Amino acid sequence: MVDLKGQYEGVKDQVNSSISNILDSSAFINGPDVHAFQKELEDYLGVKHVIPCANGTDALQICMMGLGLKPGDEVITADFTFAATVEVIALLNLTPVLVDVDPDTFNIDVEAVERAITPKTKAIVPVHLFGQCADMDALMQLAQKHNLYVIEDNAQAIGAVHTSKDGSKQKAGTIGHVASTSFFPSKNLGCYGDGGAIFTNDDDLAHTIRGIVNHGMYVRYHHDVVGVNSRLDSIQAAVLRAKLPKLDEYNESRRRAAKKYNRAFEGQEHIIRPKTVNGCQGICETCDCHVFHQYTLRITNGKRDALAQHLNDKGIPCGVYYPIPLHKQKAYADERYNEDDFKVTNQLVEEVISLPMHTELDDEQIAFITKTVVDFVNG
Ligand SMILES: *Cc1c(COP(=O)(O)O)cnc(C)c1O
């Protein structure tokens, strides 16, 4: 699904020399690379504060702790996403409220969010799934109307650009009150272990969060709030520093691959291609709204599982993200949920399949993959 080795070749010299310097200096924790990476990412995103931490799941949890959410507060998020999002809500004894998604973008359905708002609702967590932003204009408007926080889960969309209805552009993860991201190796900006970060433009919240990631300390050995230990280590920061300058190029390679996939699947009766928010199908030459963390098709003639098996047999990696809606997971099932409210997710889990997507895909690979998919689906 990903080619980390191929990508490493392009940053090898810098990564190896930075890691070797860190080994020589023994500055493993809170070394200069961590601080430098923080600044470089702030500049790249155009956000006031980046707070590095240990992984994307911690980042989400720390966002919620930083906002002071309390047990019983309801947090609305998407039913169709990776479990980390709902997991941390539950861990903090907040009440997860899952809602359906949009069938075109796979992102949280804003009307479903609105219907789910109660007097206990405190926050909305849109997940910018597979690499493009949820409808942030509508979500921010809704949040303002109901006095809610918006926490962007930006683990899959770093570098994506969100264009508002007024034409203004912001990077994904800098629009809500606070955002989280993950630097897991297979993410669009991945390190060589675990890593994550929190972004915000709010000075007070940034201050609160800087203490939370460090055991609730604002002054050494004075623990003002209950915190956690969540750090990005120097070696991971050095890897990220080598890769950040190439992130736009990496995302452009993904978009190029997506365009080729899109062209090959054009006009296929049983294959729905991923739709981008501006309707250009990712084949417009200037589009920067989608960074294709995943390239996900919908197979509408019931052959998805058989296709996955066939691709495996042919040595083509593929993935089903995600096979089970969160509201049907044992850990998160709740009698309040009504199947009629999850029509889209329930259908998507039967139809979606993600094809190999990374920065090193070449034309020959794409031609082989697309021909294999088309022949099988129509066969
Ligand atoms: C990867 C991912 C996470 C979790 O990140 P980790 O660094 O693995 O903890 C959270 N949310 C989404 C949507 C993700 O894709």
**Cα of 91 to ligand 1 centre, how many Å?**
16
Q: Is the CB of 193 under 6 A from ligand 1?
A: no
Residues annotated as catalytic (active site), given as ranges: 187
Q: Is the CB of 282 under 6 A from ligand 1?
A: no
| Residue 265, CA distances (Å) to 45, 115, 250, 347 in order | 33, 36, 23, 21
pLDDT single digits (tens) 240-295: 999 999 999 999 999 999 999 999 999 999 999 998 876 665 555 567 899 999 99
Please give the structure tokens belonging to residue 228: 């956690």
Determine the atom of ligand 1 nearest the C-alpha atom of 156. Answer: 15
- Report pLDDT for 285: 57
User: 146 burial class (0-12, 13-18, 19+ CB within 10 angstroms)?
Assistant: middle
CA distance 292 to 295: 6
Give the residue range(s) of CATH 3.90.1150.10 domains in the chain: 247-378
Q: Is the CB of 230 under 6 A from ligand 1?
A: no
**Cα of 74 to ligand 1 centre, how many Å?**
21
Strand 196-200 relative to strand 49-53, pairing: antiparallel
Determine the atom of ligand 1 nearest the C-alpha atom of 55. Answer: 7
- Report pLDDT for 348: 98
Query: Does residue 260 sit in helix, strand or coil?
Result: helix
**Cα of 183 to ligand 1 centre, how many Å?**
8
Specify the DSSP class assigned to residue 246: G
Q: Is the CB of 277 under 6 A from ligand 1?
A: no
Determine the atom of ligand 1 nearest the C-alpha atom of 129. Answer: 13
**Cα of 84 to ligand 1 centre, how many Å?**
6
- Report pLDDT for 378: 95
Q: Is the CB of 81 under 6 A from ligand 1?
A: yes
Determine the atom of ligand 1 nearest the C-alpha atom of 57. Answer: 9
pTM of the entire predicted model: 0.96
Q: Is the CB of 322 under 6 A from ligand 1?
A: no
- Report pLDDT for 280: 64
CA distance 304 to 300: 8
Question: Which residue has the CA at smallest separation from atom 6 of ligand 1?
Answer: 56
CATH architecture type of domain 247-378: Alpha-Beta Complex (3.90)
Please give the structure tokens belonging to residue 363: 């034309």
Q: Is the CB of 153 under 6 A from ligand 1?
A: yes
| Under-70 pLDDT residues of the chain | 278-286
**Cα of 232 to ligand 1 centre, how many Å?**
15
Q: Is the CB of 82 under 6 A from ligand 1?
A: yes
Give the residue range(s) of CATH 3.40.640.10 domains in the chain: 4-245
* Domain 4-245, classified CATH 3.40.640.10, yes or no: yes
Q: Are 31 and 158 in contact (CB under 8 A)?
A: no
Q: Is the CB of 130 under 6 A from ligand 1?
A: no
**Cα of 80 to ligand 1 centre, how many Å?**
13
Determine the atom of ligand 1 nearest the C-alpha atom of 128. Answer: 13
Question: Which residue has the CA at smallest separation from atom 14 of ligand 1?
Answer: 155
Q: Are 196 and 53 in contact (CB under 8 A)?
A: yes
- Report pLDDT for 3: 84
